[in-house]
Amino acid sequence: MARIGLLSMSDGRDFVARDVAGHVSESTRTLAELLRAHGHEVITARDVIWTNELATTEARWVAGQRPDLTIFNYPVWAFPHFTMLAADATPGPLLLVGNIDPQYPGMVGMLAGGGALDQAGRVHSRVWGDPEAITDRILTSVRAATAVTGLRGSTFGRIGGRPMGMYTATANTDQWMRQFGVDVEEIDQWEVVRRAENADASRVTAGRDWLEKHGNVHYDGKQLTPELLERQIRSYYAVRELIDEWNLDFSGIKGQPELTTHFTTMDVTEAFLNDPYDWEGPKETHVTATEADMDGALTMQILKLLSGDPVLFADVRHYHADKDVWDLCNSGQHATWYAARSADPAENLAKVHFHPEVFYFPAGGASVQHLAAPGEMTFARLTRYDGRYRMHVMRGAFEQYDDATNEAMMRQSTYEWPHAFARLRVDSEEFLSRFGANHIHAVPGEYVAELRAVCELLSIDFDGFGELR
């Protein structure tokens, strides 16, 4: 549910404002009811804006209640300086809604107000038409604004720093604060090791029992033992403790090479932080990026705030040219929810295999292997070109084939790691020559319009691939 501010703009001549008052109130009521019917809280200004003074006082009053999005409604011709004064008193995202009823020049009011905002460089978006007909577009703006507002004032927990020289996993904290309002808390990986020892033994054993009961654990007595699996579960509790102690909103864990060579991999930790459950029951997802990939985590957090779903983190690992399908495979974890996308963890876990880690990770532990369930997806990734942020976006779908084909394809890369076979609606040439990172992120469903709106609000470039170019 979002909190939405609503101010209706009117004519500055008292006799006109009086004459159109009924129409403006009716339009305000219709819009407010429509938003409430979709579960949102609406804060309506106490008066219609028909003087300069009301523009400022009412906008300040609405802004004081910290809406996620503020709507300026134009049911009639409205003096544009009211828009400017009200916008100046509105710190958050702005949406202008214009009336197209030919009896009243609301559309002209929106264009004059919007043009004035453009001249001052004030970012805003616009929709126009009958409220019922434009509900989807309004709700898209609401979702985008809520995501952008949700980022501001949040904290990313960066556990461990830059992995294996990966420039694409590191970002500038000044730029993050200025552009996204996100702070970064630097935490040493030693904290995971230190705190893992203190985890409650009975909770750890219960976690292992649950994984053994619902998942498929393949102990080999060497790389994967009950003790190593418990160490991974202990690491999960250690990171949860860090999240609580530092009030982290989303996180990333370096892992490689220190933990993966000398302690254990963070795959179980990362999978279940990203999942909407763990062995103790349902919980909120906590976006966690492998390799402490900062722009990856930020992309994931935006996708989470838009969709509410767990977000996929993956390497762009292999392109099966014969099928025009990509193997999105991460070095050890995808949220287990992706295995069947069921609300029942048991259904997902039945398809998850905990394999002994491969040669890259001598410290051992389990990788979290499964093949993502099929379905339409939106793919995205924030990258930077010459210091300027852009959001790569593309559409596509996860696919599965018969068992023998799935198996053979997974064996071509690293079988023990999780896979998602993605048919991207973009040419492989275009993808490989333009995509600016080794990691990609995805959520089920269609969020392209929302991502466009997020980019506008954040003043970053929307960089569509394939059909979105």
Q: Which two tokens stand for residue 404?
A: 């023998």
DSSP string, 32-46: HHHHHHTT-EEEE-S
Whether cis (ω within 30° of 0) applies to the bond prior to 257 is yes
> Among 246, 318, 438, 449, which residue interacts with ligand CVU (rule: CB under 6 A)?
438
Q: Where do we find the tokens 């059909």? A: 467
CB closer to ligand CVU out of 11 and 267: 267
Min dist CB 113 to ligand CVU, Å, is 47
Closest-CB residue for ligand CVU?
Answer: 331
Give the residue among 334, 155, 149, 331 at the shortest CA–CA distance from 255: 331
CB of residue 416 to ligand CVU, shortest distance in Å: 12
368 closest CA partner among 264, 258, 248 = 264
Q: Give 129 or 257: the residue with its C-beta nearer to ligand CVU.
A: 257
**Which string of x and - marks every residue 23-62 that binds ligand CVU (by CB under 6 A)?**
----------------------------------------
Retrieve residue 290's tokens: 């492998």
Q: Is 63 helix (H, G, I), strand (E, B) or coil?
A: helix
| Residue 141 binds ligand CVU, judged by CB under 6 A | no
Minimum distance from CB of 324 to ligand CVU (Å)?
A: 22
Q: Which is nearer to ligand CVU, 83 or 256 (CB)?
A: 256
Q: Does 256 bind ligand CVU (CB under 6 A)?
A: yes
Decide if residue 267 touches ligand CVU (CB under 6 A): no
Nearer to ligand CVU, 225 or 438 (CB): 438
The CA–CA distances, whole Å, from 355 to 260, 328, 352, 370 equal 15, 18, 9, 10
* # of chain residues touching ligand CVU (CB under 6 A): 7
> Does residue 357 touch ligand CVU according to CB under 6 A?
no
Q: Smaller CB distance to ligand CVU: residue 106 or 296?
A: 296
Residues 6+ apart with CB under 8 A from 420: 312, 314, 327, 328, 329, 334, 338, 371, 372, 398, 442
- Closer to ligand CVU by Cβ: residue 246 or 360: 360
Q: Does 291 bind ligand CVU (CB under 6 A)?
A: yes
By beta-carbon proximity to ligand CVU, the closer residue of 48 and 297 is 297
**315 lies in the site for ligand CVU, by CB under 6 A:** yes
Phi, psi of 149 (to 5 degrees): -65, -35
Question: What is the nearest approach in angstroms of ligand CVU to the Cβ of residue 150?
Answer: 27
Nearer to ligand CVU, 43 or 368 (CB): 368
Q: How far is the CB of 126 from ligand CVU (least distance, A)?
A: 40
- Confirm or reject binding of residue 331 to ligand CVU (CB under 6 A): yes
DSSP result, 345-381: HHHHHTT-EEEEP-TT-TT--EEEE-BPPPEEEEEEE
Least Å from the CB of residue 438 to ligand CVU: 5
Residue 216 parent element (H or E): strand 216-217
Comparing CA positions, the residue from 134, 152, 154, 183 lying closest to residue 69 is 152
Task: Indicate whether 360 belongs to the interface with ligand CVU (CB under 6 A).
Answer: yes
Nearest distance in Å: CB 362, ligand CVU: 12
The answer to whether 62 and 139 are in contact (CB under 8 A) is no
E strands present in 307-450: 312-320, 325-329, 353-356, 366-369, 375-385, 388-399, 419-424, 439-444
- Shortest Cβ 166–ligand CVU spacing (Å): 7
Phi, psi values for residue 337, rounded to 5°: -55, -30
Interacting residues toward ligand CVU by CB under 6 A: 256, 291, 315, 331, 360, 438-439
